[in-house]
Structure 1
Amino acid sequence: MYSLVSSINNVLWGHILVYLLLVAGVWFSVRLKFVQVGGFKHMFTLLKQSRQSDSLGISSFQALCTSLSARVGTGNLAGVAIAISVGGPGAVFWMWVIAFLGMATAFAESLLAQVYKVKNSAGEYRGGPAYYIKQGLNSKLLAVLFSISLMFGYTLVFNATQANTIVDALNHSYGFSQLMSGVVVTVVAGFIVIGGLRSIARFSELVVPIMALIFVATVLVITLLNAAQVPALIIEIVRSAFGLQEVAGATFAAAVQNGIKRGLYSNEAGAGSVPQAAAAASPKPNHPATQGYIQMLGVFIDTMVICTCTAVVIMLAGGYAGVEMTGIRLTQDAMTSHMGSVGGHFVAIAITLFAFTSIIGNYAYAESNLHFFKLDNRVGRSIFTAIFLGMTLLGTQLELKLVWAMADMAFGLMAVINVVAIMLLTPTIYAVAMHYQAQRRQNKEPRFKQGSVRVQGRLEEKIWTD
């Protein structure tokens, strides 16, 4: 199984996705006039009023926290460690590059999720790539392929990855039984997800900001205590990124490939996952581009802030050179070198929270596609929940190498389909984004109504008419 999955990943990540994601990031950055630069301050302005919502959707802030709950997980702690141990410090630079370009891609896909969103059987907003591919490109086959890839990834694989990392961290720090830890994680997750998207959004809104702030504050203290080493650390990252300095046998190609792979896996820009959360929001102001800006901020927080914090901790510890891929244990050992035994406990708690919120966020992403398959009823939801929780428990007993490889494969398939789709939908993205910016230049609160902008395909009835 591992050999088969690895062969598929070699094609996806070695010959297709690295180039496709870079091209997409550059394409949307240029077409949207570097919205990640010009709109950087505006992201934070929108955040101030992002907690407003209505009965049809969650708030923009809740959608951001839900997407961050899925983003901020093993990719930020274990994934960064893997990237550095395999690709060297230069992988961090390429994580920054893909995040910068990915901010524009995230803006584009989240805007589309809002434009083409629908109402489910309960009258709540749902959407994502499957919906904008079907309605915008009129391609039901491609929409079904994406939705199957997403359901495979977020129902069967990604939650297993997160659960696997939790029990591994707890076993490494405390010697807890992996099976018992897995049972506890699965049961607690079940209590939260059974309440649906709104329950998940409320949980994420409460937990995600607190855990992120504590983690960043801790790393800032460590960085200040080791300030003298920071200039050399930055030089090492840049030199390694361009193959000027090979570390532990990591080549230029390894740095690029692992930096982009883990950067995407962490911030998810272009993969088509975040649009599920973006579509569920009732944005303020009521315009699709609003959620584009908000979700662009999510990429910045995830990679530029939290992933960088993990990389700094590992590199300041100096213990990554020559190590094999050890995932979360490398991060734990690095933090222990800075904080003593407390460091191992800190990372164990952090990864437990980060990965657990990701499990919850993964459920929200997969659940949004039940409507696409007309399974958003009691029976369909019950079967889906049982499979999701069952795979969460099973994931705690699987070999880490295989779980990560399957996650890479599922993510890669999703990203290929989604990036092709959003590039084909560029005329709609550009028109809606320029409509928003034109109203801002006129000092008007941006509003979007069906017919105000020419879009590709068709919109769901009575979504953008009021």
Structure 2
Amino acid sequence: MGSVLIYLLTACGVWFTIRLKGLQIRRFFHMFTILKSSRKSSTHGISSFQALCTSLAARVGTGNLMGVAVAISLGGAGAVFWMWVIALLGMATAFAESALGQLYKERDSNGNFRGGPAYYMSKGLNNKKLAVTFSLCLFFGYGFVFSAVQANSITSAFNGSYGFNPLYTGMAITFAAAFIVMGGLKNIARFAELTVPFMGLLYILVCLTVIWLNIEKVPMVINDIFASAFGLKEAGSGLVGAAIVQGVKRGLYSNEAGMGSAPNAAAAAEPFPPHPVSQGYIQMVAVFFDTIVICSCTAILILLFKDTGSDAQGIQLTQQALAHQVGPWGADFITVAILLFAFTSIVANFAYADNNLKYLKMDNFQGRWFLRIGFLLMLVFGSVATLPEVIALADLSTGLMTIVNVSALFMLSKVVVKITKDYHQQHDKGELPTYKPDEQEHQRLNLTKGIWQKD
């Protein structure tokens, strides 16, 4: 399943990069322009900035600290270059799926916006079976399993660093998560808006300080990355294949582009400019920040350390790399970073599962409480369990979810191209891009009444 996903997601990134004419490079700075006005919201939707932080909360997890270390251990420095390449391609995929999620959104019984892959499969492709299949996979993966894995990584880190009992740590995590998720998506979005910028910027600041202190070594590190990526180093050509596989895998699993998770957050936003494409741009920022910025910081930190002869792997490699530069508190800082990164992933995962209750006919009192109780119990279970079998189920769930979502994206690529063209035509004329489909387009695309065109 893993190799199929690598080929499928890479093909999807290449396809949308070509169809959108390299939009992620040509209009790279435009996505930051939109970010300036991303805090506007309404009673019906969260702000674009909150949607960005919610998707980043899910994207930025232990993989940014541990996964990068594993990729470098197995694929060498060259893995970092291929991680960058796949992130650039993934930006186009993230743009497409998030714009579609925003385009086909609906209002729930409380008047709040909901949307995502299940919605564009049901309306855009008129395929409810596909929508239900996707929702089941996402509900199982994000509602129960992935958060248990994140809880396990937190309790393991605190047990290893401080000897804390995993059960007690797990219960503390569960109570904190319960307090946040009981308030629904808006509460989760507010939490993400406060914590994600803080934790991300603090981690980047520490890494940049280390890089600045070792600035004379950085050109050698960058040279090592490029030389290893293409097998230009002596006796290094055999590692090229491993570098490509590990870099691509790390990039794909870190930025989540194409997996169908981020569109759930993107669809809940009140976009500004008021056009579905603006959410595509906002979610491109998330991929850039997650993989190009945070993963790169971890990678350079590790590559500055790897010649010291340490045989540490995984999160211990990241901890030792920082401790080597700043002293013993570096290992503690990484432990706290894991807590913040993994905990924000936990609450964002709940938001994604909650968003798909409708297609499972569970968007009611009983369904919401079933999700809440099951979600919280799995956090306790994940805190104390060893999870190889559950992780295998999670991988299967993610695989099916991704295959279904990417298939839908390919089939809806004409719609993505059309609305993107509409946005840029208005923007290039100096107008504020506003999506105003006429009645014919409304019917042809099967859009929800009262969202983009008032009844």
Quick check: TM above 0.5?
yes
Measured after TM superposition, the shift of residue 195 of structure 1 is 0.3
Among all aligned residue pairs of Structure 1 and Structure 2, give the percentage whose two residues are the same amino acid.
52
Task: Please state whether the residue corresponding to 1:372 is helix, strand or coil.
Answer: helix
Distance in 2 of aligned mates of 1:450 and 1:309: 43
2:161 pairs with 1:176:
no
Provide the aligned length of Structure 1 versus Structure 2.
453
Task: Indicate the residue corresponding to 2:350 in structure 1.
Answer: 363
The secondary structure found in structure 1 opposite 2:362 is coil
What amino acid does structure 2 have at the position aligned with 1:22?
A: T
The AA in structure 2 aligned to 1:150 is L
- Distance in 1, matches of 2:291 and 2:400, equals 22
User: CA distance change for structure 1 residues 320 and 148 in 2, over 3 Å: closer, same or farther?
Assistant: farther
* Aligned-pair CA distance for 1:246: 8.7
1:421 paired with 2:388, answer no
Supply the distance in 2 between the matched residues of 1:319 and 1:87 (Cα, whole angstroms): 15
Which residue does the alignment assign to 1:225? Answer: 213
The equivalent position to 2:425 in structure 1, one of 419, 438, 457, is 438
2:270 maps to which residue?
282
Is contact 1:86-1:250 (8 Å) kept? no
State the alpha-carbon separation in 1 of the partners of residues 74 and 233 from structure 2: 14
Matching of residue 60 in structure 1 with residue 62 in structure 2: no
Q: Contact 2:6 / 2:252 at 8 angstroms: preserved in 1?
A: no
Partner of 2:120: 132
Does structure 2 retain, via aligned residues, the 8 Å contact 1:84–1:320? Answer: no
Deviation string for 1:318-357 (max 9, x for gaps)? Answer: 1697847x43222112211112111011101111001100
Question: SS of the counterpart of 1:228?
Answer: coil
For residues 252-278 of structure 1, the C-alpha deviation after alignment (integer angstroms, 9 at most, x for no partner) is 332222222221221111111000000
Q: CA deviation at 1:25?
A: 0.9
Offset of 1:237 from its aligned partner?
1.6
C-alpha separation in 1, matches of 2:126 and 2:378: 33
Report the AA paired with residue 6 of structure 2: V
Please tell me whether residue 376 in structure 1 is matched to residue 357 in structure 2.
no
| 1:343 partnered with 2:346 | no
2-side partners of 1:299 and 1:266: how far apart?
A: 9
* 2:158 is equivalent to residue 187 of structure 1: no
| 1:50 matches 2:38 | yes
User: How far 1:109 sits from its partner (Å)?
Assistant: 0.4
Q: Which residue in the other structure is 1:5 paired with?
A: none
* CA–CA distance in structure 2, aligned partners of residues 404 and 79 of structure 1: 15
Matched residues in 2 for 1:259 and 1:407: separation? 21
1:332 is matched with which residue: 319, 326, 351? 319
Quick check: 93-102 or 167-176, which moved more? 167-176
In the aligned structure 2, how far is the partner of 1:421 from the partner of 1:383?
Answer: 29
2:130 is matched with 142
Shift of the 97–452 alpha-carbon distance from structure 1 to 2, 3 Å rule, reads: farther
Alpha-carbon distance between aligned partners in 2 of 1:410 and 1:81, rounded to the nearest angstrom: 25
For residues 169 and 124 of structure 2, what CA distance do their matches in structure 1 show?
44
Q: Deviations over 1:146-203 (max 9, x none)?
A: 1111112101221112111111111122111111111111110111011000000001
Aligned partners of 2:357, 2:256: CA distance in 1, in Å?
Answer: 21
CA contact (8 A) 1:75 1:266 kept: yes
User: 1:62–1:201: 8 Å Cα contact kept in structure 2?
Assistant: yes
2:408 corresponds to which letter in structure 1? A
Q: Distance in 2 between matches of 1:334 and 1:246?
A: 25
Unaligned runs of 5+ in 2: none
Residue 252 of structure 2 aligns to a residue in which SS?
Answer: helix
2:129 matched to 1:166? no
C-alpha separation in 2, matches of 1:451 and 1:209: 39
Cα gap change, 1:463 to 1:197, in 2 (>3 Å): same
The corresponding residue for 1:313 is 301
Counterpart of 1:286 in 2: which secondary structure?
Answer: coil
Aligned AA (2:158):
L
Distance 1:362 1:221 in 2: 32
> What 5-or-longer segments of structure 1 have no aligned partner?
1-11
State the Cα distance separating 1:76 from its structure 2 match: 0.8
Structure 1 residue 98 displacement after superposition: 0.8
Counterpart contact for 1:171–1:178, Cα < 8 Å: yes
CA–CA distance in structure 2, aligned partners of residues 400 and 256 of structure 1? 28
Alpha-carbon contact 2:136-2:360 (below 8 Å) kept: no
Aligned CA-pair RMSD: 2.1
Contact 1:243–1:251 at 8 Å: present in 2 too? Answer: yes
Q: 1:266 aligns with which of 254, 257, 267?
A: 254
Contact 1:172 1:329 in 2 (8 A): no
Partner of 1:204: 192
Match of 1:291 in 2: 279
Cα contact 1:67–1:277 (8 A) shared by 2: yes
Higher mean C-alpha deviation, range 450-459 or range 393-402: 450-459
Q: What TM-score do the two structures reach when normalised by structure 2?
A: 0.95
* Alpha-carbon separation, structure 2, partners of 1:166 and 1:248: 36
2:419 aligned partner, one-letter code: V
Question: Which one of the candidate residues 67, 85, 98 is aligned to 2:73?
Answer: 85
Name the stretch that deviates more: 394-403 or 261-270. Answer: 394-403
* Structure 2 counterpart SS, 1:443: coil
Paired residue type of 1:383: F
**Partner amino acid for 1:294?**
I
Matching residue within 70, 73, 77 for 2:58: 70
| Maintained 8 Å contact 2:231/2:237 | no
Q: 1:224 Cα deviation (Å)?
A: 1.0
Match of 1:6 in 2: none
Match of 1:157 in 2: 145
